[in-house]
Structures are given as C-alpha cells and as structure tokens.
C-alpha cells in the first residue's frame, strides 16, 4: 500500500506541475496562444499552425510622367520590392530617368535601401524609416549618395476615413559636379476607403530644394489605390505643381503583386 501511495503522490505532482489550460500539449508557461480550440493542430509555441505569421513580399513596377507648357516631357521607370514581417518592413527600389534626346533608358539610376518599423494601436499608426540612396550611375540620377530618415503618422477616424502626416529629412552627399543641400520634406492629407478594394487620398506636399537658391517644391496630390484581387493591385497618383520651377503635371502609375 505504501508503494501505491508513493506512486500516486508522484503522479499527482507531475500532473500539477504540467498545466495545459487549452489541452493542446504545450505547457501554459510556454503557450503563446493559450486559448486554441481542442481539435486545432499547434506548433511548439502553442499557436495554430495555419495561423503562423509568414512574411509578405511585394513587387511593383511603374512609371512617372511629368510635363508642362514650358518644358519637355520627362519620364522614369521604377522598380520596387519590399518584405514585411511582423512590424518590420525592408525595401529596395530604383529610379531611372528617361533621356528624351536618346529615346531610351540608359541605366539603372539611383537605388534606395530602407528599413522601417511600425507601431500600431486601434486608431493610430506610426511608421519610422531609415534609409540610403545609392548612386549607381553618374549619367542617370543625381550622382551622389544620400541618407534619410522619415516619420509618418496615420490616424484612422473610422473604418473608412484617415488623416496622415509625413515628415522626412535627407542628408545629401555631393556629386562630382553639384554641391547638394540637405532638405526637409513634408506632406499632410486625408483619405477615404470607398470599399475593401478602392482607396483615395488628397494631400499637400512640400519639399525643400536640394539646389541652393532654388524655389522649394509644393504640390497638390490625388492618390488612388485599387485591388483587382487578393494578390494584384495598382496605384495611381496625380500631382499638380504649385511652384514656378516644378512641372505643372506629374502622373505616376504602378502595378503590383504581393505574396504571403
């Protein structure tokens, strides 16, 4: 009888030491999802296997076209890719100018590398970014390396409406021909989601000139985003220049695909 009593005490001690509230085989102390259904397969962290977070990869290709009555039309070819995991996002993009007198794109242009972190609550999103612009060619792009930081604040009034503010500062390098100035950029606006597929926003955009003595850039922008499906989407932006030096009209069109 004494042996049986000892065995029962040992077994009961083992049972009470291993606590598993949702009966998924993962001890509560290590269970990051303590309320999974009884019949749900879970991983070592106690979370459902089909709900594990994987990163999101996005590819975009597009063009910017600028023109007015005083200048020749210019355009660009832009490639963009980003990878997001949890609240971190890393991006790589380029900006290639179109040389109208050569009737072709003559190089890669500038490369942009950045990393960002998003802080979210129910109605407020904050996104902080640090990045660098790398000059690949002296013939295309501005021909220097820059470093920049930005902060965007997005307040969601409700499920359809939001108000956003963006601010960024760029430390400019110098090319072999031009001494560029550091500059500040700013944008403020608001948007409206007409449905789950279509979003539109209006904003006022401002940027100090990187050229000493030039007027600063100011414009009104009208942005659109439309999702054809869960994977494919497009964005379109029209900017009307308000200052004397910038192009009067700039159209930006991009097509994208994302993978979960």
Share above pLDDT 70 across residues of the chain, in percent, rounded to a whole number = 70
Which stretch of 81-85, 178-182, 233-237 has the lowest confidence by average pLDDT? Answer: 178-182
Q: Which domain holds residue 42?
A: 2-51
What pLDDT sits at residue 162?
Answer: 96
What pLDDT sits at residue 152?
Answer: 96
Assess whether pLDDT exceeds 70 at residue 65: yes
60 shares a domain with 46: no
64 shares a domain with 43: no
62 shares a domain with 148: yes
Q: How far apart are the first and last CA of the chain?
A: 60
253 shares a domain with 216: yes
**97 band by pLDDT with thresholds 50, 70 and 90:** low
CATH code where residue 63 lies: 2.40.160.40
97 shares a domain with 10: no
Please give the sequence-ordered ranges of beta strands (E in DSSP) within 100-182, or none if there are none. 104-105, 110-120, 124-135, 146-156, 161-171
- Per the document, the length of the chain is 260
Structure-block tokens of residue 97: 């100018």
**51 band by pLDDT with thresholds 50, 70 and 90:** low
Mean pLDDT, the chain, as a whole number?
Answer: 80
What pLDDT sits at residue 29?
Answer: 58
9 shares a domain with 34: yes
233 shares a domain with 121: yes
Nearest-angstrom CA–CA distance, 228 and 252:
18
What pLDDT sits at residue 204?
Answer: 97
43 shares a domain with 63: no
Domain count within the chain? 2
47 shares a domain with 79: no
- Judge whether 186 and 169 are in contact, CB under 8 Å: no
86 shares a domain with 17: no
Q: How far is CA 53 from CA 43, 48, 56, 151, in A?
A: 12, 10, 9, 26
**pTM for this predicted structure:** 0.72
Higher-pLDDT residue of 211, 240 = 240
What pLDDT sits at residue 12?
Answer: 45
- Judge whether 55 and 77 are in contact, CB under 8 Å: no
Query: What is the arithmetic mean of pLDDT over 46-60?
Result: 73
Query: What is the arithmetic mean of pLDDT over 224-251?
Result: 92
124 shares a domain with 157: yes
DSSP secondary structure letter of residue 109:
-
What pLDDT sits at residue 26?
Answer: 67
- Judge whether 45 and 31 are in contact, CB under 8 Å: yes
78 shares a domain with 19: no
């Amino acid at each position: 009888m004494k042996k049986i009593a000892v065995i029962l005490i040992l077994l009961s001690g083992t049972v009470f030491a291993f606590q598993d509230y949702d009966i998924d085989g993962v001890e509560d102390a290590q269970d990051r999802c303590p309320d999974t259904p009884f019949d749900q397969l879970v991983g070592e962290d106690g979370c459902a296997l089909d709900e594990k977070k994987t990163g999101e990869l996005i590819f975009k290709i597009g063009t910017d076209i600028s023109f007015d009555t005083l200048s020749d039309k210019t355009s660009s070819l832009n490639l963009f890719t980003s990878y997001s995991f949890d609240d971190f996002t890393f991006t790589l993009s380029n900006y290639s100018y179109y040389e109208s007198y050569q009737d072709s794109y003559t190089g890669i242009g500038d490369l942009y590398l950045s990393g960002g972190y998003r802080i979210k609550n129910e109605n407020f999103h904050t996104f902080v970014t640090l990045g660098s612009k790398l000059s690949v060619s002296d013939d295309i792009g501005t021909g220097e390396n820059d470093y920049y930081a930005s902060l965007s604040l997005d307040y969601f009034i409700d499920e359809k409406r939001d108000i956003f503010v963006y601010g960024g500062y760029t430390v400019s390098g110098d090319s072999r021909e031009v001494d560029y100035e550091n500059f500040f950029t700013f944008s403020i606006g608001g948007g409206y989601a007409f449905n789950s597929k279509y979003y539109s926003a209006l904003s006022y955009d401002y940027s100090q000139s990187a050229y000493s003595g030039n007027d600063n850039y100011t414009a009104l922008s009208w942005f659109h985003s439309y999702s054809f499906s869960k994977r494919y989407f497009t964005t379109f932006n029209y900017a009307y220049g308000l200052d004397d030096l910038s192009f009067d009209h700039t159209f930006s069109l991009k097509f994208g695909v994302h993978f979960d």
